[in-house]
Amino acid sequence: MRTTLALSILAVALLSGCSSAPEPAPAAPKAEAPKKVMDHTPALIQENLISSRLVPDHILDQPKLPGGSLGEYERKGKKYQAFIVDASTNQAAAMMLFDFKAVLKDPEYISYMGGYFGSDGKQPIYVFAKLQYVAGIVGLSKDEADPLARTLASRLH
């Protein structure tokens, strides 16, 4: 009986020592640091430029677009904007453009630019991807925006 009691106590002592340690409480999720916005204001078209600035997030107030460089222009009393957004890769820029296409009403594909022309409901937008960039002209008709978009594209390296 003493042997049985001693073995029982020994078994309980050994088994209680084998339990795993209590799991630590999960750490509070870290807030994402805001992504650093690249300054591409030197690549913006300089002619008729009134001002330029960096937008930290959601350029043009569009949730599909991150922050980027935005230029404000005026020509013959007509105001318009140009923007450049930096994606991590060429493929990411293409996907960002494709996602942004869903925002446009009646998007028209522009094959020679690899972009789209449409409206976000407030203003016309000519948007395209080149290399790791998504860029565009906002506030002008397609015919007015096209030569500016080509010039902007030529400045993206």
Average pLDDT along the chain = 86
Task: Kindly report, residue by residue over 101-127, the tens digit of the pLDDT.
Answer: 999 999 999 999 999 999 999 999 999
Query: Which structural domains are found in the chain, ordered by start?
Result: 41-154 (3.40.1000.20)
| pLDDT band per the 50, 70, 90 thresholds, residue 36 | confident
* Residues ≥6 apart with Cβ < 8 Å to 70: 52, 53, 54, 55, 59, 60, 81, 82, 83
Q: Could you give the dihedral angle defined by the CA atoms of residues 10, 11, 14 and 16, in that order, rounded to the nearest 10 degrees?
A: -120
Task: Kindly report, residue by residue over 37-56, the tens digit of the pLDDT.
Answer: 889 999 999 999 999 999 99
Please give the Cα distance from 107 to 101 (Å, whole number). Answer: 7
Instruction: Kindly state the percentage of the chain with pLDDT values over 70.
Output: 78
